[in-house]
Amino acid sequence: MWLEFKSLPLVISLLALLVMTMLVPAMYGLLFGEVYQGRTFLYAVLLGSFSLTFIWLAVKNNPKPSKRHTDLWSLLAFFIVFPIVLAVPFQESLETGKIIDAYLDLVSVITTTGLKVYPDSYLTVTLVVWRVCLGWICGFLMWVFAWSIFAPLNLGGFELLEIKSNQKAASKKGFIDRGRLPSEKFWSEAVRLAPIYIGITVFCSIALLISTREPGFAVLRAMSTVATFGIYLPGEGARGFTGELILVIVMMVALSRATFSGQFSKKKCFELLLDREFRLGLAIFFCSTIIIFCLTLKTEFEFSQVLKVLWGACFTSISFLTTTGLVSEFLPADFITFIKANLILSALAMFGGGVATTAGGIKLLRIYILSIHCKTEVHHLLSPARVITGQNDLKVKNYNNAMLACVFFMVFILSFALITLGLSLTGSSVNEAATLTLGTITNTGPIIDQFKVSSVPIIEFEFLAKIILVVSMALGRIEVLALLALLNPDIYS
């Protein structure tokens, strides 16, 4: 059965997985009194299962050869097309709003953006539980996408990593192992990474349960944090210092792939500080903590209050750096009203986390390579005799990596400007459009609600504005270079 499932086309197996996630709200609703919603999702699971079974039978004896970028098309369908299927029962359960609102909300969940589309009163406990579970599963799939799709194609930041020459030769052909189907490689990576992802979630859940004594919220907050999915949980109590400390430890995983994977690096635990992404992430974390602390500190604070503000700055910095988007409860209530604080949080969200993690943003590895290249160029200006020659392979490789990072950065800024312009043309102010673009393209949706730049809720936006937000969130996950490689492989090669 498992071998048969692994051999299915990736589009069918991924959609089947998302359909099976609707069993969670179906069981929860039927068991806890929300019968209508539970029945709606149960019917959706049955209908989806029958439809996918017929599709599987139709394509079972008609295999087609896998092309180089087939997986990228599956990835695009995962973020753009699959939410349409899930939006139908979701909209039926809400009994309010429009289908485009349900579609926008589910794209936000699948991309782990956490964009707040509906007011809190619209969502029942059954829907909240399902959205968290769906976001948690999709966060895990981000890991699998990175290692099974982006790594063989040298995309998503992997083009900047040091990979063995034989793997490079294979990646130019499209896959590291040509003997297996793309779906088989995908699910093999899923089996390899699943114990790590589940183990981190279980650790965080148990630790939060001991700290907060709230089983339901402990599990939901653990699942959302592991996926860097900063969703708001209605009725959640205070996390306290211990609860936030646990979340900080978990969010550290999103700073670098070296924290959970050893495929490209066999560093031991005590050698983690040698990782470039992790070191840069810690440096940015400490600098932003000091800046936020200085912005919020007041002269009349007592010593205990100073320590609380310092910790609040620490938690908020790492949260936005990993694009989770949670704000510490120890910061002053008027913290977000500081314009300088908004700039710091915006910069942290744009930097993002590590390559092949659940975090969004530009990625720390690209920031590191660009900073090293800038340092090298300054040295060249001071010492013109120091030039790059073909005899120094290391310098040539660093130069090529810097060019790739620079190209991504420029295309990222261009995309940011175009999305901002599109939202402005739909009626949003420039400030509001820029904040919406920042929150969606970096997959840090809570930043929009925290900044409070819009007086109009997202559910009341125009249809075209919602479509632009969907494109922005999907683009933030797929990344611009991957989209270019999908549309025209010769450009990227």
Q: pLDDT, tens digit, for every residue of 375-400?
A: 888 877 887 765 555 445 555 567 78
- Reply yes or no on whether the pLDDT at 298 is more than 50: yes
Instruction: Give the model's pLDDT for residue 190.
Output: 93
Instruction: Give the model's pLDDT for residue 176.
Output: 43
464 CB-near residues (< 8 Å, 6+ apart):
422, 426
Beta strand extents in 112-197 (DSSP E only) = none
Lowest mean pLDDT among 22-26, 123-127, 373-377, 489-493: 489-493
Instruction: Give the model's pLDDT for residue 184.
Output: 84
Query: Would you call 12 exposed, middle or buried from its count of C-beta atoms within 10 A (0-12, 13-18, 19+)?
Result: middle
For 260, half-sphere exposure in the C-beta direction (CA atoms, 13 angstrom radius) is: 29
> Are the CB atoms for 114 and 108 separated by under 8 Å?
yes
Count helices and strands in the chain by DSSP H and E runs: 23, 0
- Reply yes or no on whether the pLDDT at 403 is more than 50: yes
- Reply yes or no on whether the pLDDT at 167 is more than 50: no
Query: Would you call 399 exposed, middle or buried from its count of C-beta atoms within 10 A (0-12, 13-18, 19+)?
Result: middle
Instruction: Give the model's pLDDT for residue 219.
Output: 93
Count the Cβ atoms, other than its own, within 10 Å of residue 138.
Answer: 24
Angle at 226 between CA 254 and CA 15, to 5 degrees: 105
How far apart are alpha carbons 278 and 151 in whole angstroms? 20
Q: How far is CA 275 from CA 347, 350, 354, 368, 386, in A?
A: 22, 20, 11, 11, 27
- Reply yes or no on whether the pLDDT at 401 is more than 50: yes
Instruction: Give the model's pLDDT for residue 19.
Output: 94
Instruction: Give the model's pLDDT for residue 267.
Output: 47
Q: Which residues of 363-372 are buried (b: 16+ CB within 10 A; e: fewer)?
A: bbbbbbbbeb
Instruction: Give the model's pLDDT for residue 169.
Output: 40
Instruction: Give the model's pLDDT for residue 89.
Output: 94
How far apart are alpha carbons 330 and 57 in whole angstroms? 56
Q: Pick the residue with more confidence: 339 or 90?
A: 90
Instruction: Give the model's pLDDT for residue 174.
Output: 41
Residue with tokens 């589940």: 198
> Are the CB atoms for 44 and 94 separated by under 8 Å?
no
How far apart are alpha carbons 11 and 76 in whole angstroms? 10
CA-based R_g, the chain, Å: 23
- Reply yes or no on whether the pLDDT at 41 is more than 90: yes
Confidence of residue 154 (pLDDT cuts 50, 70, 90): confident
Could you report how far apart the first and last alpha carbons of the chain are, in Å? 38
> Are the CB atoms for 9 and 71 separated by under 8 Å?
no
What mean pLDDT is reported for the chain?
Answer: 85
Output the six-digit token pair for 439.
């929150």
Q: What integer is the mean pLDDT of 186-203?
A: 93
Output the six-digit token pair for 321.
């750096």
Length of the chain: 493
Instruction: Give the model's pLDDT for residue 3.
Output: 75
How far apart are alpha carbons 275 and 267 in whole angstroms? 9
* Amino acid type, 293: F
Q: How far is CA 325 from CA 216, 244, 286, 292, 392, in A?
A: 21, 13, 17, 15, 43
For 351, half-sphere exposure in the C-beta direction (CA atoms, 13 angstrom radius) is: 32
How far apart are alpha carbons 119 and 114 in whole angstroms? 13
Q: Pick the residue with more confidence: 102 or 340?
A: 102
pLDDT digits 0-9 by tens, 412-452 = 999 999 999 999 999 899 999 999 999 999 999 999 988 88
Instruction: Give the model's pLDDT for residue 391.
Output: 47
Confidence of residue 178 (pLDDT cuts 50, 70, 90): very low
How far apart are alpha carbons 182 and 50 in whole angstroms? 24
Instruction: Give the model's pLDDT for residue 337.
Output: 62
Q: How far is CA 250 from CA 146, 255, 345, in A?
A: 19, 10, 19
Count the Cβ atoms, other than its own, within 10 Å of residue 194.
Answer: 14
